[in-house]
Amino acid sequence: MKRHVGIEALAIAVPRRYVDIEDLARARGVDPAKYTAGLGAREMAVADPGEDSVSLAATAAARLLRTHQVDPARIGMLVVGTETGVDHSKPVASHVQGLLKLPRTMRVYDTQHACYGGTAGLMAASEWIASGAAAGRSAIVVCSDIARYGLNTAGEPTQGAGAVALLVSEQPDLLALDVGLNGSCSMDVYDFWRPLGRREAVVDGHYSIQCYLDALSGAYRAWRQNALTREVVRWGSTLPGDQLARILYHVPFCKMARKAHTQLRLCDLEDAPNSPAATPEAREELAKSAASYEAQVASSLTLNARIGNVYTASLYLALAGLLHKESAALSGQRIGLLSYGSGCASEFFSGVVGEKAAWRMAQADMEAVLAGRERVSVQEYERIMNLPYDAPEALAPAAGTFRLAEIRDHKRRYVEGAAS
Ligand code: CAA
């Protein structure tokens, strides 16, 4: 079993347009503070029908290969995690393989379990490498989604779109995963789902938050048990969760990360042999610590606040945002990650930030990707949302990005903007 496995590099892709969240609030007659302070949002990515889960995944994966000069011959597995695929049978991953002209000699498939699908792909890839079956080859895992609830719904300000591509290998420059420590928790619940044939998700919003928190508790406690056994953390003068330099959460909206962090702290405070808080009320109060949230969570949310929910990619956007800002300071330190997918499945895992993370992230240049976007009015956002999904506008793709050009005889044709 190889123990040095993880994420070597990453790249992101976002739609070309976004709407300012305060503009949306005003158009809906809502106090903007509800969306900014209440949900933690700033901007929301708006995908048009030419920007589907395939084009976003292909753009992110192409950017990953180009930016980090990856030789396609070293890739033995391509997995796309998505819950907004474009076909009931043909995977998004096979489109990406074709668009990027990747070799035939690889395993290619999609993974699906709502927002957990990308993590399922990451674990399949890293365990394939750790087992030795990869025989030195690497994997690409892409998380790509369009989060869509519809106009004038409670979920509307928590939409978004984008993709994150991860290069997974035995050279984890960004994050060496703690193989074997992961904790999982899953349950059969109807908190969020998308019946066949529907573009918009159906969601029981407040119940979905409770399901997330319940699943988090189970997954974190399972990880903590493994981490205590391996003496990665301990009960001592600080709580086990406090011994992680940062904790990243699945981010359907930024405020959810704060709720999640409170819940994780509550797990530690409830279970500690000598809890610093004796009563349930005192534990609740201590769990809400603003200082702990600011120190361990807040810095990871900058990209999520500017893009919105990206379902499978949300956790990995938080990773990209964190490493973009803090990779030098975090070199050699352990962080925790919580993945959640409705339905539901969750996994808590951990890893150590690599020494070359700052160098890798400088190449990924997140600022440039976001700076290329155009702010649109709420009227224009509504026009885009009402476009038929199968008749994309004839827009030229930006340099280095892919767009759906047309669907003819149920076959999708994509075009690529020449890389500058
Ligand atoms: N100023 C400041 N804050 C305000 C405010 C104001 N004027 N008005 C309201 N708020 C606060 C509220 O107090 C609340 O904060 P707390 O949760 O901390 O109490 C927050 O703003 C939201 O207000 P509401 O709960 O009243 O909002 P809502 O009922 O309209 O909808 C939502 C919120 C349920 C999250 C809804 O946006 C939704 O359904 N979103 C989609 C589902 C979702 O994201 N679920 C998350 C868990 S499931 C998951 O994670 C998988 C996934 O990706 C979908």
Does the active-site annotation cover 143? Answer: no
**135 belongs to a structural domain:** yes
**257 belongs to a structural domain:** yes
Whether the predicted pLDDT of 242 surpasses 70? yes
Whole-number pLDDT of residue 1: 73
User: 7-31, pLDDT tens digit by residue?
Assistant: 999 999 999 999 999 999 999 999 9
User: 305-320, pLDDT tens digit by residue?
Assistant: 999 999 999 999 999 9
- Helices assigned H by DSSP within 32-164: 32-33, 53-67, 92-99, 117-131
Compute CA distances 399 → 62, 105, 138, 144, 242, whole Å. 12, 29, 27, 19, 43
Global pTM value: 0.97
- The structure tokens 């997995």 sit at 79
User: 136-195, pLDDT tens digit by residue?
Assistant: 999 999 999 999 999 999 999 999 999 999 999 999 999 999 999 999 999 999 999 999
Whole-number pLDDT of residue 341: 98
**1 belongs to a structural domain:** no
- What's at 183, amino acid-wise? G
**244 belongs to a structural domain:** yes
Whether the predicted pLDDT of 256 surpasses 90? yes
Burial of 388 (0-12, 13-18, 19+ CB in 10 A): exposed
**What's the CATH code of the domain at 285?**
3.40.47.10
CA angle, residues 227, 231, 235, in degrees to nearest 5: 85
Choose, from 8, 170, 211, 250, the residue flagged as catalytic. Answer: 250
**341 belongs to a structural domain:** yes
Is there a contact between 40 and 258 (Cβ–Cβ < 8 Å)?
yes
Does the active-site annotation cover 250? Answer: yes
* Residues whose CB is less than 8 angstroms from the CB of residue 197 and which lie 6 or more positions away in sequence, other chains included: none
Burial of 367 (0-12, 13-18, 19+ CB in 10 A): exposed
| Mean pLDDT over each residue of the chain, to the nearest integer | 96
**118 belongs to a structural domain:** yes
Token digits of residue 268: 């530690």
CA angle, residues 391, 395, 398, in degrees to nearest 5: 130
Does the active-site annotation cover 267? Answer: no
User: 60-102, pLDDT tens digit by residue?
Assistant: 999 999 999 999 999 999 999 999 999 999 999 999 999 999 9
Question: Hey, whose CA ends up nearest to atom 21 of ligand 1?
Answer: 38
Q: Please tell me the distance from the alpha carbon of residue 58 to that of residue 87, in angstroms, as a whole number.
A: 16
> Where in the sequence is the domain holding 112, given as residue range(s)?
6-416
Whole-number pLDDT of residue 276: 87
* Residues whose CB is less than 8 angstroms from the CB of residue 69 and which lie 6 or more positions away in sequence, other chains included: none
Token digits of residue 343: 């339905």
Token digits of residue 382: 């509504």
**147 belongs to a structural domain:** yes
**Which atom belonging to ligand 1 lies closest to the Cα atom of 204?**
39
**Which atom belonging to ligand 1 lies closest to the Cα atom of 191?**
48
Domain count along the chain: 1
What does the DSSP assignment read for 84-104?
A: S-S-SSS-HHHHHHHHTT--S
Question: 15-46 as b/e, with b when 16 or more CB fall inside 10 Å?
Answer: bbbbbbbbbbbebeeeebeebbeebbbbbbbb
* Residues whose CB is less than 8 angstroms from the CB of residue 308 and which lie 6 or more positions away in sequence, other chains included: 41, 43, 44, 45, 147, 158, 159, 160, 161, 253
Mutation pick for ligand 1 pocket among 26, 39, 143, 194 (CB with most ligand atoms within 8 Å): 39
- Three-state DSSP at 106 gives coil
User: 282-337, pLDDT tens digit by residue?
Assistant: 999 999 999 999 999 999 999 999 999 999 999 999 999 999 999 999 999 999 99
**20 belongs to a structural domain:** yes
Whole-number pLDDT of residue 277: 87
